[in-house]
Every structure is written in structure tokens, then in C-alpha cells.
Chains A and B, each alone.
Chain A
Amino acid sequence: MITTLTVIIAVILLAYTIFYNKLIRLKNQVENSWAQIDVQLKRRADLLPAIVTVVKKYAEHEKDVFSYVSNARQKMLNAQTPQENATADASIQSALKSVFAVAEDYPELKADKNFQQLQEEISSTENRVAYARQNYNDLVMKYNTTIESIPSNIISSIHNIFEQKEFFEATEEEKAVPDVKEQL
């Protein structure tokens, strides 16, 4: 009788440990992937001064674009809340679009090797941001499903550290295609 009881308790403890650790691992993965998005957004903001320097060499009098870009970057650096972050992100995107629109008028700029390299870096960063968000959403889905599923839901109801995470959704600003002319 006692042995049976011991075995049952041991099995429960073992299962508890396994599922608790699984939840912790998922939770950390979700948080890490969120941080990865920020890293990539920062990378994009850091590319802006470089692209401005190159463009200035060929198109010095396009002052509007430069101030627009530096405003967008400043917004990104000052952003505190996720909401501000999303707004700043949208304005960086449209700032970049306006830079590339300007570049269309300067064939020498478009042929510049530095400019081409930066263009590749920027489109790569766009991809990285998108992939980082995709990875975050995939992990959130897995995490949320695990929390609600048997038997992990028992553990998540005992410990209140396991809460549903929110999916990343593109803001209205990001969904809308910015009108470059209007903003200049």
C-alpha cells in the first residue's frame, strides 16, 4: 500500500517537474523572441544615419528628406510604449521609402557601391523584422496552446507566472501604405 502511494507521488512529482520546466522554457523563448524584434528595429534605426550620409553626397539639396529621416529616427529612439514604438516604426518605414524615391532621380547615387550595399542591408533588415515577428507569433501560439492544454493547464493555474501572451499585430499605420509626397 505504502509502496503504491510512494510510486504515485513520485510519478506526480516527476510529471509536475517535466511540465513546469516545459512551460518555463516556452515562456523564456517567447520573451527572447520579443527581444529579438527590438534588436532588429534598433538595427534599422542605426542604418538611417549611414544612408543619409551617402545620399547627401549626391543629393545635398533634398533637405526635406533628411529632416524627415532624422525625425523618424528620433521618434524611434524616444519611443517608450509599444504603441509609440509601432508609430515610430511606421514613420521609419515611410522615411526609408522617401529616401529610395529620391534616389530614383539620381542615377549616380543608384550606381554608388555604398548605396547599393546599404540598400541590401535595409531590405535584409526589413526581412529580419518580419521573420522575428513571425517567430514571435509562432512561439506565442505554441505557448498559449500549451498553457490551455491538459495537463499543462493544471500547472499554469497553480503558478500565476504563466499568462497568455499577446500576438504581434501590425498597427493601422503600418498596414496603410504611406503617401510619400504628402509627408514631405
Chain B
Amino acid sequence: MKRISFDEVAKNNVKTGILFFLFFGIVLGLGVLTGIILGNPNTGILIAVVIFLIYSAIAWFKGKTIALSLTGAKKAPQQQYQQLHNVVEEISISAGISKPDVYIIEDTSMNAFATGLKPEDSAVAITTGLLNKLDREELTGVIAHEVAHVKLRDTRTMLIAGVLVGSIILLSDIIFRFSLFGGRERDGRMQLILLIVGVVLILLAPLIGQLIKLAISRKREFAADAEAATLTRNPGGLASALQKLSTQHKKTLDNESQALQHMYIIGPDTKSWLKNLFRTHPPTEQRIERLKEM
């Protein structure tokens, strides 16, 4: 088995950078368009930057808290969840990072996720449904996958991606509204062109943003599986957990939210190519196969 993690961190950082500039370009472009509608491109850029900064500040300071509270995660008491705490601690030692906070989601569904901008301020959460179904070895595999996301900075990448998609959606919405009602008086043809551009943008821009985000999410799942195998030196544990998940997993959380799907250890499995384009995770079968080859 090859140790890949350090290169993966570097590669991931570069990818985050490229993603960041690409997305930021789209945000600025939309800003310029907003400005044109308002009569001054500079105003539009200013609006775009302000929206982006506000979203970033929220994600930076509250991203972890928001993700945890949206899923209904509660801090797992050490006394009650002794084994879970121990497993998280063991894996963080293996990964050489400080122990993430441990959260529990009281839910019969089976899933787990990690969040946080940096390893020193991160959290892993697991549903009681999953926790009760796994033995210690499988639990170690699942936790290793989540800790790998933290170690490889995937949680940060996805948080930034989320902010940028959010900014794009808000800007497209602004453009759409303004092109409908018009900021200034202008002739009918101009109004029509702007309306068409607005409609195309509101449909297309968020979609492109979403697709970029999903593509990254899928790639990161394989990397996290590989890193989990390296951390535990036991790909079998995670493979067996994924097997259990894929046979018993019917939906993500009861209070399912599409926006959070990419965070979980497993996404809904589907055969349709269109749904495959929108999936957050690679097919579980494929992940298990790769783990078995390690």
C-alpha cells in the first residue's frame, strides 16, 4: 500500500486554488452583468464582492456550527459514547492531527460526516442508526474516512465551494429580478435581451457551479477511502461498513437536505446517467472494489 496522503494534501490545495479562482471569475462576471443592468459595471463588481465577503465570513466563523445544527447533531458525551470517542482519538493519532469534536445524530438512518476548516477546529458526526450497526473494526473504517476528509482539507474545499455556489445563486437571482423589472428606463429590445440573458444565467450559472462542486466531491471520496485504508492499514473494515451501508441504506437523513448531501459518507445510489451527473459520491460498489484491491 502506498502512502499518498501528503501528495494528496498538496494536490488538493492546488485544486482548491484553481476552483477558487474559477468560481470567483464567475462571481465577478455576474457582478459585472449586474452592474451593466444597473448602469455602472463597477457598482456590480462591488455588490458581488460584498456578497462574497459576507458569505465567506459566515462560512468561516459559523460554517461548522451551521452544518452541525442543520443535521441536528449533538455533542456525544464521553461517558456514554466511550468507544466512539476512543476510535476517533485512535485515528487522529494515526493521522497525526488533533482529535476532532465528536457529534452524534439521533436518527435511524445510517450516515456520517465531517466538517471544519482546519484539523484543529473540526468535527465528525455519526448517526445512532449507523453507530449501532457497526462493529469496532467497521466503525474505525468509517471514522478513518471522515478523519481523512479533515486531514486532506476536503471539508474546507467543500465549504469554500458552498460559499461560491451560494454567491452565484444570489447574484443570478438579483440579475433575474432586475432584468424583469429594470433598474432604469430603457427601450423594449434591450429589456428583452437582458431578460433572456437573465433567464439563461439564473438557470445555467448555479447549475455549472453545482456540477463543479459535485465533480470535486466525487473525486475526494476515492482519495478519502484510500487515505482511510492507509490510516488504519485495514481497508477491509471500511469496505465491510460500506457493504452494510449500501444494502441497508435507503435514504440519507430523515430530515434530508440536498445541500448537505456531499458531506455524508455515502450518497443515494442510482443507475440513471442524469442522476449520476448530479451524484455527490461515486457508486458504492466501485468504492468497495477499489478498497478490496488495496
Please list the residues of chain A having a beta carbon within 8 angstroms of any beta carbon in chain B.
29, 33, 36, 40, 117, 120-121, 124, 127-128, 131-132, 134-135, 138-139, 141-142
Contacts and interface: CB of A to CB of B under 8 A. Distances in A.
B8 interface: no
Given A121-B82, A124-B90, 15 more contacts: A29-B96, A117-B82, A121-B86, A124-B83, A127-B90, A128-B89, A128-B90, A131-B91, A131-B231, A134-B94, A134-B233, A135-B95, A135-B96, A141-B3, A142-B3
Nearest to B231: A131
Contacts of B3: 138, 141-142
Contacts of A29: 96
A131 B94 contact: yes
B6 interface: yes
The 7 closest A-B pairs by CB, nearest first: A131-B94, A124-B86, A127-B90, A131-B93, A135-B96, A132-B93, A128-B90
A120 B96 contact: no
23 contacts: A29-B96, A33-B96, A40-B93, A120-B82, A121-B82, A124-B83, A124-B90, A127-B86, A127-B90, A128-B90, A131-B90, A131-B91, A131-B93, A131-B231, A132-B93, A132-B94, A135-B93, A135-B94, A135-B96, A138-B3, A139-B96, A142-B3, A142-B6
B231 to A, nearest CB: 8
Nearest to A131: B94
Contacts of A120: 82-83, 86
Contacts of A121: 82, 86
Nearest to B93: A131
Nearest to B140: A127
B8 to A, nearest CB: 13
B286 to A, nearest CB: 27
Considering residues B3, B95, B96, B233, which has the most beta carbons from chain A within 10 angstroms of its beta carbon?
B96
Contacts of A142: 3, 6
Contacts of B89: 124, 128
A149 to B, nearest CB: 13
Considering residues A33, A128, A132, which has the most beta carbons from chain B within 10 angstroms of its beta carbon?
A128
Nearest to B95: A135
B154 to A, nearest CB: 20
B98 to A, nearest CB: 11
